[in-house]
Homo-oligomer: A and B are copies of this chain.
Amino acid sequence: MRILLTNDDGIYAPGLWALYRELRDDFEVRIVAPEVEMSAVGHAITLASPLRVREIRRNGAFYGYGVSGTPADCVKIAVQEILDTPPDVVLSGINLGANVGVNVLYSGTVSAATEGAFFGIRSAAISLNTRKEPDFDFAACFSREIIGFMQRQGLRHGTALNVNIPALPPERIAGVSITRQGVGRFRERFERRVDPRGNVYYWLSGETPSEDEARDADTAALKRDMITITPISYDLTCREELERLKKSPLPSVGLHDGD
């Protein structure tokens, strides 16, 4: 089985290395990842500038391809240009920090998995819920379970899995849960500062979820020390509103003809 690995922390990130080390002996593993950190790029792609692809070595041996673009770019160019054969599985991660709730929209890690799903490839994003002193071993090991899970269950075309793992020893993890994306707002604010030349600038800060969520929301389950698996789709259509608005009087095209 051929597995494409990518991420948004960059090709030198330890989370990617942990996945590679876990999987390289049993699978045909290829790495195509951003050359530099690309966090919070959302589902960006590079249109205004060309992409460069560089062979990256690690410990003296060929490791993978570094791309001057976003995670979504990496999956596109891997499938369409770099790899001889499309991969059977795309794994994106292991990300340093959870990708749950509305933050999923901003996540480069998740966008790579979504891009894999565009191509009809079984794809998952893997994130570890910590920003310091990460131990990726268990998360890497669990990623292998995710590959097996996708193979056993299959996945509807266009659906990817967004997996979040508590940063805990396995014996303290409360279990595995199929979840929905949390929709509560995060409590954000801008921190206003003044630079040495007297100019104002702003940092975005403070991203702890502010609201209680449904029990099966990824945000809530992760708080209960569960591993969360959220099936996500790239179809943003809000179906309830679709049905309701179809029955509504529509805006008129010619209303301002006489103006």
Point out residues on A near B: beta carbons under 8 Å: 37, 39-48, 50-53, 72-73, 76-77, 80-81, 102, 104-106, 111, 114, 118-119, 141-142, 144-146, 148-149, 152-153, 155-156, 158-159, 162, 170, 173, 175-178, 180-181, 183, 185, 188-190, 192-193, 199-204, 227, 229-242, 244-246, 248-257, 259
Residues of B within 8 A of A178 (CB): 242, 245-246, 248, 250
**Complex contacts, A162 vs chain B, CB 8 Å:** 236
When distances are taken between beta carbons in the complex, the residues of chain B under 8 Å from A201 are 50-52
Q: Is the CB of A237 within 8 A of B199?
A: no
Report the bound CA distance from A47 to B181 in whole Å. Answer: 22
User: Which B residues lie within 8 Å of A102 (CB)?
Assistant: 118, 234
Chain B nearest Cβ from A66, distance in angstroms: 13
Q: In the complex, A45→B108 CA distance in Å?
A: 11
List B contacts of A245 (CB < 8 A): 153, 178, 229, 231
B149–A204 touching, CB < 8 Å: no
On chain B, the residues within 8 Å of A238 by CB distance are: 156, 158-159, 231-233, 235
A80 adjacent to B42 (CB under 8 Å): no
- State the Cβ distance, A85 to closest chain B Cβ, in Å: 17
Decide if A111 touches B42 in the complex (CB within 8 Å): yes
Please tell me if the beta carbons of A180 and B250 are within 8 angstroms of each other in the complex: no
Asked whether, in the complex, the Cβ of B40 is within 8 Å of the Cβ of A47, the reply is yes
Q: Are B204 and A47 in contact (CB under 8 A)?
A: yes
When all copies of this chain in the complex are counted, the total is 2
Q: How far is the CA of A75 from the CA of B237 in the complex (A)?
A: 21
Chain B residues in 8 Å Cβ range of A202: 50-53, 77, 81
How distant is the Cα of A40 from the Cα of B76 in the complex, in angstroms? Answer: 14
Q: Which of B53, B105, B242 contacts A43 (CB 8 A)?
A: B105
**What are 7 sample pairs from A and B whose C-beta atoms fall under 8 A apart?**
A42-B44, A44-B106, A45-B106, A72-B106, A77-B190, A80-B188, A162-B236
Residues of B with C-beta under 8 A to A255:
145
Distance (whole angstroms) from the CB of A38 to the closest CB of chain B: 9
Instruction: Determine whether the beta carbon of B42 is less than 8 Å from that of A41.
Output: yes
Report B-chain residues with C-beta under 8 Å of the C-beta of A241. 155-156, 159, 231, 233
Residue of B nearest to A162 (CB): B236
| Contacts A170-B254, A245-B229, A256-B141; A237 near B180 (Cβ below 8 A) | yes
Distance between A189 CB and nearest chain B CB, rounded to angstroms: 6
Chain B residues within 8 Å of A51, by CB: 190, 201-204
